[in-house]
Amino acid sequence: EIVLTQSPGTLSLSPGERATLSCRASQSVSSNYLAWYQQKPGQAPRLLISGASSRATGIPDRFSGSVSGTDFTLTISRLEPEDFAVYYCKQYGSSPYTFGQGTKVEIK
């Protein structure tokens, strides 16, 4: 089973700042099948990025994903008020699919 470790656990930033979220896999993720989701309280997760770097339909271009080996990064270039939420990564390259534990982006 691939273990995904997200860091930091909490990120305290101000609107307009840049957010960098990390997701490290315990082993190689097949075909870089790594997705990022945003979840707000009381809502279902929303797909932001799939395939490590492809933005989902309707996702603003301030969200971007990248990969280097087994290290995956989600970058939010300039935080908007609606971006404060919890973010999860998930690998879907091999079964069982696994999620990271989440990073909370909170208003500083």
Partner 1 sequence: QVQLVQSGAEVKQPGASVKVSCKASGYTFTDSYMHWVRQAPGQGLKWMGWINPSSGDTNYAQEFQGRVTMTRDMSITTFYMELSSLRSDDTAVYYCARAKQSDFWGRGTLLTVSS
Per CB under 8 A, 45 contacts partner 1: yes
| Contacting range for partner 1; rule: CB under 8 A; set: 9-17, 18-26, 66-74, 84-92 | 84-92
Q: Minimum distance between the CB of residue 96 and partner 1, rounded to whole angstroms? A: 5
Rounded to whole angstroms, how far apart are CA atoms 76 and 41? 19
Q: Minimum distance between the CB of residue 33 and partner 1, rounded to whole angstroms? A: 7
Residues in contact with partner 1, counted by CB under 8 A, come to a total of: 23
Instruction: Look at the chain and count its residues.
Output: 108
- Sequence-distant (6+) residues with CB within 8 A of 40 are 85, 86
Q: Are 95 and 1 in contact (CB under 8 A)?
A: no
Angle at 85 between CA 80 and CA 89, to 5 degrees: 115
Q: Minimum distance between the CB of residue 44 and partner 1, rounded to whole angstroms? A: 4
Q: List residues binding partner 1 (CB under 8 A).
A: 33, 35, 37, 39, 44-47, 50-51, 56-57, 88, 90, 92, 95-102
